Structure 1
Amino acid sequence: MPPTPLAQIILSTSRAHGLVAIPHGEQHRQAARALEEAGFQRNPDGAFVAPLADGPATRQMGRALVHRAHEHGATIITSTRPCLADFGEDLAAGLPGTWSARMELHYHPAVQEDLLGPLWDNGDLLQALLHDPVPGVVFLRNSAGTELLLIERPGHSSGYLLGALAPEAYDDNWEEPHAPRSIVLPGEPDLAARLAATSFLPSYSRALHQRRLDTVLRALERIRAEYETLQAIKASGRYSDGIPLADSRMVPEMERTFADYAWLSFRDVLEHAPVLLSRCHPAATPWPQDAAALDRLRQALADSQETRNEDQELRGALFSVGGWKQARSRFGLAALPAIETWLADSAAFQRQARAAVPGGPLALSAPSPRLLTTRPASPAVPRSSGAHR
């Protein structure tokens, strides 16, 4: 991030508050003190404001601010854009559906680093938060839980950057391959809203659909590998490295261990598969025969809902490590029929979900490598992983 003055006062105008000032920099307290001594009032959102209705009083306050800023070593910067909060509210009003806009100020430059974790972007917005001072942001949120991030475009006298935050279910967003690219918006709110609605939001929806799909497929892939290993051991009476089981009574414990592992992954299916299934319409695809498989998958999710609810209730309670592991094993065993249904019908789910990408034609291209396709049967004695399983 390039060096900035240790204490800045960034001025802009607002239709609701008149003159708006943001103290910023490593010594932002000095800037805030200058504003207070010049007669500015601090708003609940942290901005300092002064009315513009009284011309003589405004000029007097302006002269006082110049003197106080000089005394406290603060640099005054006059923005060429209106207050970011105003633009955010205008943008929210022009987007489809119902959106709210919330301003957040960053007095200290380091605070903006907190946005990097939830940010889901691989474009200019990410680069701005990494390399440029961002004294203020606006969060835009709709009733469906979509959350966007708006900032002024750094290094330019006009324009804005709009990007996305990841849904709450995701916390590993750094260099995530499906992240949508942020978009540059013009300074006219109506035009900016149309551009966001017709360009960014559809790309966001497609990216989120693909991320959800890959999350479900990878979860099933992990479960499948362990499931096939367990079935091979039970059928052959041997461990993965070929050593015979010493006692068949060990099998139930192996099943409980598998159930614990499978439940951890199946929670991803329960979280993300319902919205994907809701978009699937087999009759509109080349595979209308998949309708029965999708019905089985929906029923499997419904059958697991009570178990999922119990898991969510207990997850917030204090558990010993052993007690929590036993609970997960119990959940996995209860959900085992649903898990087996999802493993059996995963191919139908994959092609239907790929065909249901929002705002696009049927996805008839080849499925992504590595993810679920029809897999060959495992050998009777699976390859050793270096330990008994």
Structure 2
Amino acid sequence: MPNPTAEIILTTSRHMGLVAITHGERYQQANRALEEAGFARLPNGASTAPLTDPQAARRTASALVHHAHAHGATITTSTRPYLGDFGTEIAARLPGTWSAELEIYSHPLWQEDLWPMLWEAGEMYRALEDHRIPFASVLKNGLGTELLLIERPGHRSGYLLGALTDREQEDPHDDPTTPHSIVLPADPGLAARAIADTFLPAHRRALHHQDLNNVLRALERIREEHQTLQVIKESGRYSDGIPLRDSRLIGGMERDFADHAWLSYRAVLEHAPLLLTRCRPAATPWPEDTAALTRLREALAFSQDAWDEWNDLRQELYSIPRTLPAHEWSQVRGQLGLAVLPAIETWLADSEAFERQARAAVPGGPAALSAPTPRLLTARPAPLPAPRSAPAHR
């Protein structure tokens, strides 16, 4: 078993002078060496020493070598400037308002915290798998977009940029919507241009496809259960062919369906509004889909009260130390599902038009990303009419 390590990486900053970052299982001993050598600790965990006075800088360097040896820490001099500066310089050049914050993963286990957030299946993924990443810069635009910037391991220059997300996601290798990291040059202006012109548009398209897939998967789950329920109601038999003993059982089945349908329909309420704003039927080969999209927007508006009630209830329960029992949650979901059943049936009926229009509306071009609020669906039109008869494919 290898001996625990204590390492110090030295780099330079135009604003702060000498910057030291510690890592390894015994990183705290490396921090003590820096403290005893006269380095000042920053809030992000890095340490600095000025370089304005050459003689003082030489004394600090000599003291660091001495104290690092005393504490069993090794010193490595980086060939690249301080990543915190590079991230800030990129953020200042990106479209919109961006910030950059250096994160330090001194203990090797801390690097593992990046895995649940990483939305990436390219070189960045392999870098985290195969290399120690002691620090990274996280770029944020304040609207839900977060990017991870690291020094490209195994290379003397260049950087890697990948996407972070707080969304639930599948294995990035199995999800075709997963965006891939890109290699950035050492010049912050060129790096920012590559992000704005290449990575952000690709990331925006990936979000569009992920939202669309979430909606389509939700509708498919609802459709399957809806078809099963319709067959049972029409035939008077369970799906395995056994006759119903009592027709009153249908009521319970409808409540169960409404419960399950609401769980899936939430994905439609959360992701479909933004997708619909991008749809332009007149610019596609299917301008006749305009009427279907109007019905879908009306269905979302019809669902607004139930969506508000759901979010208010969840917020209320999160703010108190108790939660509803499982069967009461089921009743709540069932009631909400029954309330929006006309809207759900509209979405099932017009899902094909929605899919082709949303696929034709994949966004592109250099634009800052924004995250839609889950509480606002669309402007409320007139009340939704009674549901139409089920189409042939249902």
- With normalisation by structure 2, the TM-score equals 0.89
Residue 321 of structure 1: which of 322, 326, 345 is its match? 326
User: Which segment drifts farther, 225-234 or 170-179?
Assistant: 170-179
Compute the displacement of 1:170 (Å).
2.6
Task: Give 2:190's aligned amino acid.
Answer: L
Q: Does 1:126 align with 2:131?
A: no
The equivalent residue for 1:365 is none
In the alignment, structure 1 residue 332 sits paired with structure 2 residue 331: no
Q: Give CA-to-partner distance per residue, 1:19-78, whole Å, 9 cap, x none.
A: 111110111011111001101111111111111112211110110000111111111011
- 1:5 positional shift: 7.1
Alignment of 1:1-389 (within 5 A): 6-166=5-165, 168-172=166-170, 174-175=172-173, 176-316=175-315, 317=317, 318-359=323-364, 377=393
Greater alpha carbon shift after TM alignment, 70-79 vs 49-58: 49-58
- Distance in structure 2 (CA, Å) of the matches to 1:171 and 1:39: 45
Aligned-partner Cα distance in 1 for 2:305–2:65: 64
Residues 172, 178 of structure 2: 8 Å contact kept: no
Q: Residue type of the partner of 2:313? A: L
Separation (CA, whole Å) in 2 of partners of 1:18 and 1:337: 65
Asked whether the equivalents of residues 216 and 268 of structure 1 are also in contact (C-alpha less than 8 Å), the reply is yes
Taking structure 1 as reference, are residues 125 and 25 closer, same or farther at Cα in structure 2, changes over 3 Å only? same
Deviation (angstroms), 1:376: 6.7
- Residue 238 of structure 1 and its aligned partner are, at CA, apart by 1.1
CA distance, structure 1, for counterparts of residue 216 and residue 393 of structure 2: 18
Match of 2:320 in 1: none
Contact residue 259 and residue 337 of structure 2 kept, 8 A? yes
> Any idea what SS the aligned residue of 2:116 has?
coil
Deviation, 1:174, is 3.9
Is there any run of 5+ residues in structure 2 with no aligned partner, and where?
Answer: 318-322, 366-390
For the Cα contact (< 8 Å) 2:138–2:147, is it kept in 1? yes
Number of equivalenced pairs: 361
- Over the matched positions of the two proteins, sequence identity in percent amounts to 61
CA shift digits 1:293-347 (9 cap, x unpaired): 1111111112212211221232351111111111111111111111101000001
CA drift at 1:126: 0.8
Runs of 4+, deviation exceeding 6 Å: none
Look up the SS of the partner of 1:161 in the other structure.
strand
SS state at 1:181 partner: coil
Query: Where does the alignment leave 5 or more consecutive residues of structure 1 unmatched?
Result: 361-374, 379-389
Tell me if the contact between 2:23 and 2:108 (Cα under 8 Å) persists in the aligned partners: yes
* 1:194-218 C-alpha deviation (Å, 9 max, x unpaired): 1111111111111111111111101
Whichever residue aligns with residue 168 of structure 2, its letter is Y
The separation in 1 between residues aligned to 2:170 and 2:13, in whole angstroms, is: 37
Report the CA distance between 1:100 and its aligned residue: 1.2
Q: CA distance change for structure 1 residues 54 and 5 in 2, over 3 Å: closer, same or farther? A: farther
Match of 1:387 in 2: none
Contact 1:213/1:276 (<8 A) preserved: yes
CA shift, 1:169, in A, is 3.5
CA distance in structure 2 between the partners assigned to 1:84 and 1:221 by the alignment = 46
State how far apart, in whole Å, the 1-side matches of 2:357 and 2:296 are. 12
CA contact under 8 A between 1:120 and 1:173: conserved in structure 2?
no
Task: For 2:177 and 2:75, locate their aligned partners in 1 and report how far apart those are by CA, in whole Å.
Answer: 41
